[in-house]
Structure 1
Amino acid sequence: MLTFRSSILLTGAADTPQYNTLIVVVSFLANMTVLLGVSALVERAPENLAKLSPWPFCGCILVGIAAIGGAGIWFAGPALSASLVIGSTLCGVGFGYLWGSWADVLGRVHPSRTALYAPASFLLTTIIFLAVDSLAALTPFPPLALMAPLPIASVLCLKRCRTESSQPSVLLAPHRTESQRYLAALTTLVPLIIAALVFSCLFGFMWETAVLSVNSASTAHELPLVLNFVVAVLLLAFTVALQRRVNLSLVYQLLIPIAIVLFAALPFFWNVHPVVLNAIMSAVHGVFDVVIWYLVATAAYDYAVSGFVIGGLVRALSILARLVGIGIGYLIMLLPEVAGYAVVGVCIGAVYLLVILLWFLWHNAKRSVPGEEAEGRMAIGEATGDGNANPHSSVSDPSSVLAAPTAVKATDKAAADPASTSPVAESISTSATAEIDGAEAINSEEVVFALLADDYGLTRREAEVLPYLARGRSAKVIAEALFVSESTIRTHTRRILEKTCLHSKQELIDLVEKY
């Protein structure tokens, strides 16, 4: 949104729809380049992200908005265009880094919290820009002074969140390489990526046609900001009220068909006012941005990968599609007499693509995901005559390695100190041995759950649910323990049973016992 609202900085000869389009296009290109470049570095070595200080990127944004704001005052002609291009490039570099960094932070947070953070961030953003617009229009404060604190505040919050959030301990898949986990995470996001391409292209198209129709970027943004605020309030209220009652992942995915209905109605608003069309499109895209944030962060959390890489790829493709939409809108508006028909045609094409996407989601949901690899290992055990064969029986129990030094120390102490054979000492020794045995049992269970999750390709949240199911806990108890809805737990349970090719919780308990 900060990229689109950079138009508030334009003054004098720079305050034209054409220059505003130039700012958006150049900024998006730089944004996309940084996202892909940093993602490649992080995918190669995750510690590379920590080596990049956010302050230089914040400095890029500050210098960039200064160049954009001063272009119409200080320059004219080619120098004006050069100042806008340089400023837009610097802003895009900073925006790309901040977007990816926040995706990385949210990727470390449990999805039950991300479900609240994403709509709350959407609401906060709309409030900030409504305030900036109002202050710029009603007070003598220069827009540059109003926008300069925003990237600084974002960096301060980012550094605070990085220090407070750490990667939670999870049941990882030790036999999966990091590249395999990235591939698995991206595979789950294929429908989202397709939807992002369609939504973003249509949004860029509608935005460009609205700006050129009213010949003012500021006018084209006024109503969308207000409508975005209303939608953000409703979305956050909905999330808070129903977080513990419904599966928010499923709800967010169901927002796509709702958007299709809105898209089908969009062409009928074109003859009324293009700004109304842009406002509806902007509100829908704002909700879709929340969906992107949530699903990207969830995929990063589930597969223990960097949210910068996953989010950076999705965001870069979304930006590319939006630039294509802006280009189509600009070309169409060169022929105003066919603009209305072109809008209808583009909307019909978008609806068609989204209907195809829904069919893909429905068809994919009907397919089960068998745990072929682990099932094959169990079959090998049965073929050798050991019905309870453990595919990891050759792997030594790490808990025994941890317990060995303790046992040696206790034996040495008993030999050196005759008093240790007294009844009191024997009681203490028995108690200590029981505690060690209990710790070994807990460690052994954790190893079993980790191996089972690895063999059957369970995601992080499915692996979190697995121990509760193995102990026979109900969906209600698990939901209360993990602070999610019972519907979410049932979804995870169904997927676990599908991946393990089982049909009941009792069969799952039996499988755990075999391990």
Structure 2
Amino acid sequence: VLTHLVPPFCSGVITGIFPIAEVFILWRLTPIPYYRRREIPIFHPLTVKPAQFLVRMLIPTAIFGFALGVLRTVASNIVLPAADLTMLLVMGAAACLGMLITIATIFISKNEGHWDLIFRTLLPFIALAAISLPFLDSPSSLLACLALIVGYMCFEALMWIFFADLAQEFRLSPIFVFGTGRGTLALASLFGTLFAMTPIGDASSMITGADYGSGALLVLFALILGYVLSPRQREVKAIVAAPTEGVNVDQGTEALKKHIAALDEKDATAEKAPAPESEEPQETPQDAEEGRRAKGRFHAQCEAIADRYLLSRRETEVMFLLAKGHNAAFIQDQLCISKSTAKTHINHIYRKLDIHTQQELLSMVEAAKREAYDSENNPPRR
């Protein structure tokens, strides 16, 4: 409403200020980077079986993209260009309602941790947006526009949540998941846009004509088909490739290791001054090397547990700090997250590992340590 009531130059300035304000918020919420903590990530993104991934994820994503393209085109060509104040207020109410529905859905499903519940919650609102298409030119056009904007916003949020949840839950590369997922979604949305602009029956097009019925039915059919074909958790587990021994570490991790080693060497050089006789002897290079090896073995043990139980990235970081004996308050400060978020991650870790206390986690890591020691010192006979 504000950007429509002020002169065009001022509305452009207001629109440009919002991303700048977001930068400050993101900067405040960004965790402390690894190079400043002098730590190495203990997780590696897992890979997928390409053919199965294509069928189980990209095909339903393409179907959803087609429906999203139709709704987006109708909203941007019919509802958004409206200049009267009543329609602007309706769009503002729809934006607030869509945001509240999405936030409430995420809050309700946070203990589930899977996208299936979010799909079941938000798809009815998206279906209502498709049903509202034939009523855009009726006396109930305001309600139809409200339903359309709410459903469209929920649809956009749903796909972002789906890709983020998929990458987080199964430790897949976010660049890979969002690259293939959003790319497929954008390409399919283009076909949905072309369909919305194509002549249908006697109408010149779905946008300028009055016949929205066929478009509404096709969008509903695409929503149902996309949901039926969308992957379930057990199916994604089947297409995630199991980690192999000697997994290649990416160049970024190698560069981070060299950077941390250089910082450690610099600190060691600065502290090489001979200690007084009353002080304890300084650590020898052999002791430092043994300490680095022990730290590396501890990382490997935690990573093995994370791979075995498919812990997410953040859960792996939290589990590593828990295994070192730290509590939720320390994890909160170390990872720059809220205390409730830290406790939620801890509860998810305990549930996935089928344990109940931090002591059980320490025992599990100790057992992994003994297994690694036995495998190193007692190799299997052939």
Q: Give TM-score, length-normalised by structure 1.
A: 0.47
Letter in structure 1 aligned against 2:113: L
Aligned 8 A contact 2:74 2:196 in 1: yes
Deviation at 1:330, TM superposition (A): 1.7
Distance 1:142 1:255 in 2: 40
Distance 1:228 1:216, change over 3 A: closer
Alpha-carbon separation, structure 2, partners of 1:153 and 1:267: 30
In structure 2, distance between residues paired with 1:194 and 1:304 = 18
- Provide structure 1 residue ranges, at least 5 long, that are not aligned to the other structure: 1-129, 136-140, 377-397, 415-419, 498-502
2:223 is equivalent to residue 350 of structure 1: yes
The alignment status of 1:461 with 2:314, answered yes or no, reads yes
Number of aligned pairs? 324
Equivalent residue runs for 1:421-436 within 5 Å: 425-426=277-278, 428-429=279-280
Identity across the alignment (%): 15
What are structure 2's unaligned runs of at least 5 residues? 204-209, 248-260, 355-359, 373-382
Answering whether residue 113 of structure 2 is matched by residue 250 of structure 1, we say yes
Gap change, CA 1:144 and 1:327, over 3 Å in 2? farther
* Alpha-carbon shift at residue 510 of structure 1 (Å): 0.6
Amino acid of the structure 1 residue aligned with 2:186: I
Residue 7 of structure 2 is aligned to residue 142 of structure 1: yes
CA offsets 1:294-319 (integer angstroms, 9 cap, x no match): 56667489969786x76455444333
Tell me the equivalent position of 1:53: none
Instruction: Name the amino acid aligned to 1:287.
Output: C
Counterparts in 2 of 1:271 and 1:369: CA distance versus 1, 3 Å:
closer
Map 1:12-411 → 2, pairs under 5 A = 130-133=1-4, 135=5, 141-151=6-16, 153-155=18-20, 157-158=22-23, 165=30, 168-169=33-34, 171-172=40-41, 181=45, 196-209=61-74, 217-218=81-82, 222=88, 223-233=90-100, 235-236=102-103, 242=107, 247=110, 250=113, 254-266=117-129, 268-273=131-136, 275=141, 276-277=143-144, 279-293=146-160, 299=167, 311=178, 313-333=180-200, 335-336=202-203, 339-357=212-230, 360-364=231-235, 367=238, 373-374=244-245, 409=272
The corresponding residue for 1:491 is 348
The residue type equivalent to 1:447 in the other structure is G
State the alpha-carbon separation in 1 of the partners of residues 216 and 15 from structure 2: 35
Q: CA deviation at 1:227?
A: 0.9
CA contact (8 A) 1:471 1:509 kept: no
Structure-2-length-normalised TM-score: 0.59
Distance in 1 of aligned mates of 2:196 and 2:123: 20
> 2:369 corresponds to which residue?
512
Provide, for residues 59-85 of structure 1, a one-character-per-residue CA deviation record: whole Å limited to 9, x for no partner: xxxxxxxxxxxxxxxxxxxxxxxxxxx
Q: Secondary structure at the match of 1:373?
A: coil
Q: 1:157 Cα shift?
A: 4.9
The alpha-carbon deviation at position 255 of structure 1 amounts to: 1.8
Higher helix share: 1
**Following the alignment from structure 2 to structure 1, what is the Cα–Cα distance between the partners of residues 272 and 71?**
74
Q: Supply the distance in 1 between the matched residues of 2:47 and 2:226 (Cα, whole angstroms).
A: 24
* CA apart distance, 1:272: 3.8
Q: Secondary structure at the match of 1:172?
A: coil
